[in-house]
Amino acid sequence: MTSPHLRRSSSLLARSAVAAVLLAGGATAAVAATQDAATATAHAPKVAVLAGSDAAASQVGAIAPMHATVVTTGGALETQAQATKLAAEGYDTVIAVGAQARAAIAQAQAGEVGADTSWQTAH
């Protein structure tokens, strides 16, 4: 015959084992969900619209994708500096609106600024 103390410790051990399995499963699911969210966020492209002082607001509004960062500048030199800054900040795509912005991204392309940046012009 089994002693009452042994039955109690076996029952406690079994409950502890079940709790450990449930906690481990929950932790694994939480880690997987976190990794999936991080992966989805990591692959979202960063898009910027670069507009010089010569670009009309209506042009910028018509071109800018919904989640794009819009950068407007006050002149040609500032537009060139912003193009370089956007590449350094890791933007995947920079869309130029206006002649100043087109010249700035042409210069950035020629200087091989932002090797991973796609430079585009709005038409």
Residue 44 — φ and ψ, nearest 5°? -70, 120
The Cα-based distances of 76 to 53, 55, 72 in angstroms read: 8, 12, 11
Q: Which among 111, 52, 105, 65 has a CA at the least distance from the CA of 83?
A: 105
Contact call for residues 100 and 52 (beta carbons, < 8 A): yes
Asked if the model's pLDDT at residue 63 lies above 70, the reply is: yes
Q: How confident is the model at residue 66 (pLDDT cuts 50, 70, 90)?
A: confident
Global model pTM greater than 0.85: no
How much is the average pLDDT of 10-35?
60
How much is the average pLDDT of 26-37?
58
User: Would you tell me which CATH number, out of the four given (3.30.70, 3.40.50, 1.10.357, 1.25.40), belongs to the domain 47-121?
Assistant: 3.40.50
Provide the mean pLDDT of the chain.
Answer: 80
Asked if the model's pLDDT at residue 29 lies above 80, the reply is: no
